[in-house]
A and B are shown apart, each in its own frame.
Chain A
Amino acid sequence: MLTNSKSFRLGLATLTAAAAILAAMPGAMAASPRAEEGKMILVARQDPGTLDYTKSNLTALRLWIPANVVEPLVYFNQDGSVSPGVAESWTISDDRLTYTFVIREAKFSNGEPVTVEDVIYSLNTMKESPVSQNSSAYQAVSSIEKVDDRTVRITLSRPSQNFWRGMGSTAGLIQPEAAAGTIATNPIGTGPYKLVSYTSNSALEFTVNENYWGEAPAIKDVTVRIITDGTAGLNALEAGEVDTIPVITIDLWEQLMARGLDKSFTMVTYPQIGEPTYAVINQKLDPELRQALAMTLDRQAYNDAFGASWGAENTCTFALPNQPWYEPASAESCPYPYDIEKAMALVAEKGYASTPLEYASLSDVPDLSLPADIMVPTMQAAGFNMTRNAIDLARYSQLIFQGRPPQFDVTVMSGDADPAQWACSDESQASWSTYCSVDYTQALADADEALTDEEYLALMKQAADILRKDAVIVPIIAKKGVGLFEPDLKGFLEPRVAVAIEFAPLHW
């Protein structure tokens, strides 16, 4: 559309003036018109594409369906207590090998009663799930059987912390077998809400589930509007068209502050939905080369640019602050702290400058493409022959997640703070990072079999120590989740089922 630079400059000047005038005008914000109607509208930044949580691990899906529509057997609360979900009670044998769940006499949102057969079907589906976070909870499960019409017994071959925690996460979600065919567009469960409609790239509509076994939620109708453009999302919030953006990404921070939205709305930060951001250095590289690369990762610079405003902490531990084995960055917990001079000396001494290296950057996720702006120049300044390869998610999946061998040298990723994802006892089974350490895997297995929480914690710390010393998975910061809420919208609780934002506790 640009015909020449003159017309572009003219347009730019006009628009700048218009933007300044608009910014100076008072907004139309008032109390939400939905408060009296018992409604609420939230904003999602990504479209899930599918709602089949048995096959997809996308955050865009896990934010809305678990806990609201489909419930797990139990809930793990923030204070460490466990609440009933689809199971109204449970017993665990002293040797922690037998779990017996008494299933609640309840109905699914489609009106059908919850049966033991549905529970067994759901658990077996998750056991076979292609999503590793779901299936990994069942590694120690040897049988899932019906005891009577209301009781299910699960027998383990060894004690497993992962199994028990999984029953309160997506691995423990219960669905009716008869409705499994429509799960991708209309998942059914026992949660306080039921899905009314899902229009991809537009909205998810929920309403209260009349068959819900618990107390009816205060807000009857919930809409999750999918607004992929960040500015459009903030516009909708400021105009009062939506009531909350519960998950804000770093690319919006500057604009959000400039518009004063942090003052006119309630800002909530919460670690549960946060993510560790970490560099992955291909394990095929020489260990000393990996260590030298790790020394170029300037956590503070990265945090200043992309995390500090969010209360993110520098860390060398693959965990979030709400996980008990978490440690902030310190001389003790960081074997390869940022030290550009030492990195330069190593590059010169070992001749690493002649080794061509590739930094793979995920171009369509701002949180993951922006770090390259800091990381790549620093690595180049240290003397590494580093080039940046910016690619979209599908290509990134092909080259890196599924690449055998993965085609990258360095990349930066953020995601679940699940240390089990790096477990690997057999190199042929190495996952996308290529990280495969027998010691690390054994430490995690030992932790999984721990009979007490204290023992579990000690073993997880041991595993975290092995991971950080290998300089393959190199944690950078622990980000917190940040949300903006209409000031009259109260009751937000930190997610209990993975990252799910629960609608039911929210009220006007």
Chain B
Amino acid sequence: MPIYIARKLAFFILAVIAASIAIFLLIRGAGGNVAAVVLGKDATAEAINALAQQYGLDRPMVVQYFDWIGKLLQGDLGRSFRTNESVADLVVSRLSISIPLCVSGLVLGLLIAIPAGTYSALYSDRPLGALVALLSQVGIAVPVFWAGILLSLLFGVRLGWLPTGGWTNWDANFWGAVRSLVLPVISLGLILGASLTRYVRSAVLDVMNQDYVRTARATGMTQMQALLQVGLRNAALPIATVVGLQIAELIGGTVIIETVFSLPGLSRMILANVAAREVIVVQSTVMLIIIFVMLINLIVDLLYGVLDPRVRLAR
């Protein structure tokens, strides 16, 4: 087991280093620099070079990389060139929106997907089961921005029940913040629910065809009893894997929802800073997300090793 853990840790460190180099090169490979964006089209080359120099962007790439990574290792995420704000503060303030949005969206998605997917798998031969499967198809086909705009039109513009967008800080007005998140969470939850329903349906159908479920049915159990008592654990494994992947995707992947509802979340912050070539903000924020995702994967890998000895012996 110690060798297995050491291997996994070594892989984790190598992957983080590779990711840091990739991020550093990718944002620079996109071309342009923050000084040019700040100064606009009429700035002289001298003015841009002077500002770039002030930002330290004229230094050799290797120096810039090690400067950034050195500070990162000491817990210093750097500062925005344009406003001198701390990247750590920016990330924390944006996470106060992104985390509730992602977690609530995912929970809503699961609350929809688990009963809907299970029902449509167990009763696939009934009209209602087919209808659920059909609705999940429709949900998958709906672009998330469209769902957001329609919900905003209905509940915001037409009915006036909820804000069409915008953000109220938690400390300024707690319920205002909750109201700001309702439509984005519903949009995200509905779309996630639709796609997760398919996975749940597929997983449940798969276990329901297994011999051990058939045996359970032969003992007199109903379909639901057989699923709950002997099939559920096995059906949960692939669903948990998909949910894990969704969490990783959601952390930085809700840019459309945040844009449609004008939420100043983490995804929108990254996008805006890519456009402005705020390289330090982008590098440090994306790096944090990558480390978070890799840590989750590392923990899962280690848990696999603990739970199933075949996994660690096979490596």
- Listed in ascending order, the chain A residues whose CB lies under 8 Å from chain B are 1-3, 6-12, 14-15, 18-19, 22, 25-28, 47, 49-52, 55-58, 130-133, 184-185, 199-203, 225-229, 231-232, 235-236, 238-241, 364, 392-399, 401-402, 404, 413, 415-416, 421, 429, 431-432
Tell me whether A11 and B142 are in contact (CB under 8 A): yes
Q: A7-B141, A240-B160 are in contact. Are A232 and B43 (CB under 8 A)?
A: no
Q: Is B259 part of the contact surface with A, judged by Cβ < 8 Å?
A: yes
Q: Is the CB of B45 within 8 A of A402?
A: yes
Least CB distance, A119 to chain B, in whole angstroms: 24
In the complex with contacts A55-B39, A227-B262, A236-B51 CB distance below 8 A = no
A3 close to B140 (CB less than 8 A)? yes
Is B50's beta carbon under 8 Å from chain A? yes
Chain B: which residue is nearest A184 at the CB level?
B83
Contact A58 B40 (CB under 8 A): yes
A7 touching B138 in the complex, CB below 8 Å, given contacts A26-B158, A49-B38, A229-B262: yes
Interface residue ranges of B257-281 to A (CB < 8 Å): 259-264, 268-269, 272, 275-278
Complex formed: what's the CA distance from A11 to B269 in Å?
30
Further pairs besides A49-B276, A50-B83, A397-B36: 11, Cβ < 8 Å: A3-B137, A9-B141, A10-B137, A19-B153, A56-B82, A57-B39, A130-B39, A232-B165, A235-B149, A236-B262, A239-B157
Q: Are B141 and A398 in contact (CB under 8 A)?
A: no
Query: Which listed residue (B42, B165, B264) contacts A199, Cβ 8 A?
Result: B264
The residue in chain B whose Cβ has the minimal distance to the Cβ of A52 is B82
Q: How far, in angstroms, from A11 to B145 measured CA to CA in the complex?
A: 13
The residue from B33, B82, B166 contacting A184, defined by CB atoms under 8 A apart: B82
Roughly how many angstroms separate A49 CA and B268 CA in the complex, as a whole number?
A: 13
- From B169, which residue of chain A is reached at the shortest CB distance? A199
Judge whether A395 and B38 touch: CB under 8 Å. Answer: no
Evaluate whether A397 and B41 lie within 8 angstroms (CB atoms) in the complex, with A14-B138, A241-B163 already known: yes
In the complex with contacts A201-B264, A227-B166, A431-B83 CB distance below 8 A:
no
- CB < 8 Å neighbour of A228 from B84, B85, B164, B262: B262
Chain B residues with CB below 8 A from A240, complex form = 160
Q: Provide the bound-state CA to CA distance between A225 and B48, in Å.
A: 30
Q: Is the CB of B269 within 8 A of A200?
A: yes
* A-contact bits for B171-208, CB 8 A (1 contact / 0 none): 00000000000000000000100010010000000000
- Tell me if A22 and B154 are in contact (CB < 8 A): yes
Q: Which 4 A-B pairs have the closest CB atoms?
A: A394-B32, A11-B141, A28-B160, A130-B47
Min CB gap A77→B, angstroms = 26
Identify whether the interface residues of B are mostly helix, strand, loop, or mixed. helix
Q: Which residues 117-153 of B sit at the A interface, judged by CB distance below 8 A?
A: 134, 137-144, 146, 149-150, 152-153
Contacts of B259 in A (CB 8 A): 228-229, 232
A235 touches B152 (CB 8 A): yes
User: Assuming the A-B contacts A55-B38, A57-B42, A394-B37, are A15 and B150 also in contact, with contact meaning beta carbons closer than 8 angstroms in the complex?
Assistant: yes
Indicate which residue in A10, A226, A231, A394 contacts B149 across the interface (CB closer than 8 Å): A231
Write the residues of chain B forming the contact surface with A, with a CB cutoff of 8 angstroms.
30-33, 36-45, 47-48, 50-51, 82-85, 93, 134, 137-144, 146, 149-150, 152-154, 156-160, 163-167, 191, 195, 198, 259-264, 268-269, 272, 275-278
Name, among A2, A11, A399, the residue most crowded by chain B CB atoms within 10 Å (CB to CB). A11
Looking at the complex, which one of A22, A185, A399 makes contact with B31 (CB distance below 8 Å)? A399
**In the complex, what's the smallest C-beta–C-beta distance from A264 to chain B, in angstroms?**
12
Name the A residues within 8 Å of B278 (CB-CB).
49
Interface centre among A6, A19, A394, A421 (most CB of B within 10 A): A394
Report the bound CA distance from A132 to B143 in whole Å: 44
Q: Which residue of A lies closest to B90 (CB)?
A: A200
15 A-B residue pairings within 8 Å (CB atoms): A7-B140, A10-B138, A52-B82, A55-B51, A130-B48, A185-B84, A201-B269, A201-B272, A232-B152, A232-B165, A236-B156, A236-B164, A394-B276, A395-B30, A401-B36
* B32 cross-chain contacts in A, Cβ below 8 A: 392-398
Which residues on the B side are within 8 Å of A227 (C-beta)?
Answer: 165-166, 262
CB distance from B257 to the nearest CB of A (A): 11
Set of chain B residues within 8 Å of A364, measured between Cβ atoms: 275
By a CB distance below 8 angstroms, the chain A residues around B156 are: 235-236, 239, 241
B43→A394 contact, CB < 8 A: no
When distances are taken between beta carbons in the complex, the residues of chain A under 8 Å from B142 are 1, 11, 14-15
Contact among A184, A232, A421 with B260 in the assembled complex (CB-CB below 8 Å): A232
Contact among A7, A238, A241, A413 with B41 in the assembled complex (CB-CB below 8 Å): A413
Minimum CB distance partner of B48 in chain A? A402
B63 to chain A minimum Cβ distance, whole angstroms, is: 21
B41 touches A432 (CB 8 A): yes
- State in angstroms the CA–CA spacing of A14 and B259 once bound together: 23
Q: Whole-angstrom distance from the CB of A65 to the nearest CB of chain B?
A: 14
Which residues does chain A contribute within 8 Å of B149, judged by CB atoms?
A: 231-232, 235
Known: A50-B82, A130-B43, A364-B275. A235 touches B165 (CB 8 A): yes
Residue of B nearest to A18 (CB): B150
Given A201-B264, A232-B165, A402-B45, CB of A393 within 8 Å of CB of B275:
yes
Complex Cα distance A231/B262, Å? 11
A402 contact set on B, CB distance < 8 A: 36, 45, 48
The interface centre, meaning the residue of B38, B143, B268 with most chain A CB atoms within 10 A of its CB, is B38
Which residues in B have their C-beta under 8 angstroms from that of A25?
A: 158
Q: Which residue of chain B has the shortest Cβ distance to A202 in the bound complex? A: B264
**Min distance, Cβ A239 to any Cβ of chain B, angstroms:** 4
Q: Pick the contact of B164: A11, A47, A49, A239 (CB < 8 A).
A: A239
Shortest A364–chain B CB gap in Å is: 7
